[in-house]
Amino acid sequence: MKKIISCATLSVLGLTLSVANADEAAIRQAFTKSMPEVKIEAIKPAEVSGLYEVSVGSTVLYVSENGKYLLQGRLIDIETRTDLTEQKLAATRLSALEKVGQNKMIIFKPKIKKYTVSIFTDIDCGYCRKLHSEIDQYMAEGITIQYLFFPRAGKGSESYNKAVSVWCADDRNAALTAAKKDQKVAIKTCDNPVDEHMQLGEDFGVKGTPMIVTEKGNIYPGYLPAKELVEALESEKKAN
């Protein structure tokens, strides 16, 4: 049976689109006036009537249709107990990582690839060092590890300078391994993505290192042994 679309239906659709466009314009105008430094990437209706979902980098905000009120927090579907905000954040994280690109990460690849994780790491962090000391175990499980730097002591710290030197080394993988063993790495400077990594970590809400981001954009804060990480990744696959 064909779906009949009448002139009245088209009028309603047109009105809906006009209202949505007007709401989006109001929201953008409100941000431009009050927070001009904020770069909006997307605006779309949220699951809750009267609210719009606004994507800002790796953050999701909720704004009233007139652009007057802003909510920052989690939107939960009570019936299904689903964190709707986390689902959106996972997608934004993946998009952000893709924008950084693998050419700006230090990657350890197994012979047979089964999984990929991105890890924010601090060279001087104890659990980061523990994780890397077991790199062969992760490789044996087929886990590709993409490292991004997040020196917790901040820019200009010893950990930050080590990260820059590692990136500028002739063999970044070998230099990172040496640095995590507390071995001296030649001090070097060059164009590097360390600041970009740190900003991304801030956007992702990194509170400590290591922080693992999966292929689905989900986060596992802290160290996970290779076997446990595989279990988590497998559970993630089944859930999707």
- Residue 7 class from Cβ within 10 Å (0-12 exposed, 13-18 middle, 19+ buried)? exposed
What strand order describes the sheet that includes 219-221?
A: 106-108, 143-149, 115-121, 211-213, 219-221
Residue among 23, 93, 124, 152 flagged as catalytic: 152
- Cα 234 from Cα 240, distance rounded (Å): 10
Angstrom distance (rounded) from CA 24 to CA 180: 48
Question: How far is it, in rounded angstroms, from Cα 122 to Cα 127?
Answer: 9
DSSP letter for each residue of 135-201: HHHHHHTTEEEEEEE--TT-TTSHHHHHHHHHHHSSSHHHHHHHHHTT--------S-SHHHHHHHH
* Residue located via tokens 């175990």: 137
Does residue 125 carry a catalytic annotation? yes
Q: Can 152 be counted among the known catalytic residues?
A: yes
Kindly give the pairing relationship between strand 82-83 and strand 76-77.
antiparallel
Rounded Cα distance, 40 and 4, in Å: 37
Task: Please pick, among 23, 93, 124, 125, the residue that the annotation labels catalytic.
Answer: 125
User: Which one of 122, 124, 129, 168 is the catalytic residue?
Assistant: 122
Task: Provide the b/e sequence for 165-180 (b: ≥16 CB within 10 Å).
Answer: bbbbbeeeeebbbbbb
Q: How far apart, in whole angstroms, are the C-alpha atoms of residue 149 and residue 194?
A: 6
Q: Among residues 23, 93, 124, 128, which one is catalytic?
A: 128
Residues belonging to the active site: 122, 125, 128, 152
